[in-house]
Amino acid sequence: MPPERLNLDTANIPSNYARLIGRELGLNVRDIPKLLQFTQLTTKQFMQEDTLLTARQQIQILQNSLDLTHHLNFGLRLGRRLTPSTHGAMGFLANSSANLLIALKSFQAFLPTRISFAHLQLEYSEDMVICSLHFDLNLSSAIHRVLSETCAVILYECAEFIIGRPMSETTICFSHDQPSYSECYADYLSGQYSFSEADLKIQLPLSLCEIPNASANHDNYLLAKSQCESMLSKLNPIEHSFIYQIQKMMLSNPLSELSEENVAAALFMSKRTLARRLALDGTSFRKIRDSILSKQASNYLLDSELSVDAIATLLNYHDSANFRRAFKRWFNMSPSAYRLKIKK
């Protein structure tokens, strides 16, 4: 989502993260106003469990923390402090998941319940899962680095809890430049890492993602998922995004009956105007449609024993050959080969 479409002043970020920042800094009550400078928050509001922060306030608190800390590796230290239990229902959901792949999908779906200005994308190849983390607003290089480090450590801590060992076979690509304290990364992150990459990405072998979670609990998983879904339904961080509105229409209508002309008309604009606005966001009607279809196809192949022909029908492909061609375009392999690969 483009930065200008994110409402920086909607309070929807749990304040427990900010309080944990204060604890990491070793602050006492009289020092809290330094952490809250320029946020218009009072110490009393900050200390209340039910206080929600805006994206602008959360980022300002991060900036203030960098001014207060004596640790160059503050982002890494903060990530370690934010254990799975600090992420509320989302952390509980991840820890209860059957395996890491399902946990990653939970993070992808419910990350907005914890941090409204970030989203996780998952891509699949024959033997890899690639997690890309994006921040949906303009950040200073220092804040971007700290958030990247914190989120990377959080993901690794959760993932290593699930698989029961260090993720030494993973690769993480940071988009920030290599910091002067980069030797500290080995104390917090297993596997390989690089810097100055185009995007923040973590590459995990698919086999790693399928290791059964010894702490999996289906009842707990369903309970936490229900809580996350309830929280997500109350959020409205991107209601004005054309991409969001189109996705919503696609998920609530048969895709075979939803043309680009229909969508443009529903948004009170011409097809050409819609195409131009989507192009500004780096996408198109077909890309959005393919993204939804490919995810649905992947989920059916992962989570069910439905035949390829049945999946094609569910996705409104009247000719399964057309579905197979589309699937090969999305994943560079046939549906049968994909299912065989991911279920080995």
The range of the structural domain enclosing residue 292 comes to 241-342
Tokens representing 267 are 């948004």
Instruction: Give domain status of residue 216, yes or no.
Output: no
Work out the angle at residue 218's Cα, subtended by the Cα atoms of residues 206 and 166, and round it to the nearest 5 degrees. Answer: 40
Do 335 and 202 fall into the same domain? no
Run of H or E including 305: none
Whether 184 is in a domain gets the answer yes
Domain final position from 186, 209, 232: 209
The reply to whether 118 falls in a domain is: yes
User: Which of residues 187, 209, 231 is at a domain's end?
Assistant: 209
Max alpha carbon distance in the chain (Å)? Answer: 69
Parallel/antiparallel/unpaired status of strands 128-135 and 192-194 = unpaired
pLDDT, residue 344, reads: 62
- C-alpha to C-alpha distance for 33 and 47, rounded to whole angstroms: 12
In a domain, 227, yes or no: no
Sign of CA dihedral 121, 231, 149, 153: negative
Q: Are residues 92 and 45 in the same domain?
A: yes
- Indicate the number of domains in the chain: 2
CA distances from 226 to 86, 92, 116, 230 (A): 18, 11, 19, 6
Position 217 in a domain = no
Q: How confident is the model at residue 2 (pLDDT cuts 50, 70, 90)?
A: very low
pLDDT mean over 239-262 = 71
269 and 180 in a single domain? The answer is: no
Q: Which neighbouring-strand residues pair with 123? A: 130
Together in a domain, 41 and 181: yes
Q: What is the pLDDT, as a whole number, of residue 256? A: 62
Residues 66 and 171 placed together within one structural domain of the fold: yes
In a domain, 274, yes or no: yes
Average pLDDT of 326-330? 92
Do 41 and 183 share a domain, yes or no? yes
Q: Which amino acid is at 44?
A: K
Same-domain status, 151 and 55: yes
CATH number at residue 302: 1.10.10.60
| Assigned domain for 40 exists | yes
Query: What confidence score (pLDDT) does residue 4 get?
Result: 40
Q: Give the domain-ending residue among 209, 228, 249.
A: 209
Confidence of residue 238 (pLDDT cuts 50, 70, 90): very low
Residues 203 and 245 in one domain: no
**Claim: this prediction has a pTM higher than 0.85:** no
| pLDDT-derived band at 163, boundaries 50, 70, 90 | very high
Res 31: pLDDT: 94
Residues 202 and 247 in one domain: no
What average pLDDT does range 167-182 have in this prediction? 96
Say if residue 192 is in the same domain as residue 288. Answer: no
224 inside domain:
no
340: Cβ contacts below 8 Å, ≥ 6 apart: none
- 217 with 97: CB under 8 angstroms? no
Are 26 and 123 contained in the same domain?
Answer: yes
276 and 182: one domain? Answer: no
